[in-house]
Structures are given as C-alpha cells and as structure tokens.
Amino acid sequence: MTSLALFASIPEGRQIIDFRNLLTHEYLNVSDRLVWGAIQVDLPSLKDHCRALLQELNPS
C-alpha cells in the first residue's frame, strides 16, 4: 500500500493533520475543551482504525 493510499484510508485524515497544525502553531488559542473532546470522542475510533490498518499491513 502506498503512502497516499494509506492516508486515503484514514477517516478524516485531513482534519487530523489540520488539528495537529492548530495544536502546534496556535496552541495558545486552543480550547482545552476542544482537545479533551477530541480525545474522548474521536481518539477511540481512530485507535481502532489504526489497529485494523496495522493488522492489514502486518498480518501475523
């Protein structure tokens, strides 16, 4: 799988990158509630998806 195909398979990949950029470059203006909300709501499904991708890329 190419890097572009891998990126395309990640749900909301562009939003993840945008959020990272916001945290990195605008951290003084980022709401703690926004970050905590992303951790609680979005991170669990992202972790599950990444685990599935790793299994697909490295079957044992």
Task: Measure the CA–CA gap between 25 and 38, rounded to whole angstroms.
Answer: 18
Residue 48, domain extent: 3-57
Give the pLDDT band of residue 6 (cuts 50, 70, 90): confident
Whether 48 shows a pLDDT value over 80: the answer reads yes
Task: Measure the CA–CA gap between 46 and 60, rounded to whole angstroms.
Answer: 22
Q: What is the mean pLDDT of residues 10-33?
A: 94
pTM of the model: 0.76
Give the pLDDT band of residue 3 (cuts 50, 70, 90): confident
Whether 1 shows a pLDDT value over 90: the answer reads no
φ/ψ (deg, to 5) at 41: -95, -45
Counting the structural domains of the chain, the total is 1
Q: How many CB atoms lie within 10 A of CB 37?
A: 12
pLDDT at 4: 87
User: Which residues have a Cβ under 8 Å from the Cβ of 30 and sit 6 or more positions away?
Assistant: 22, 23
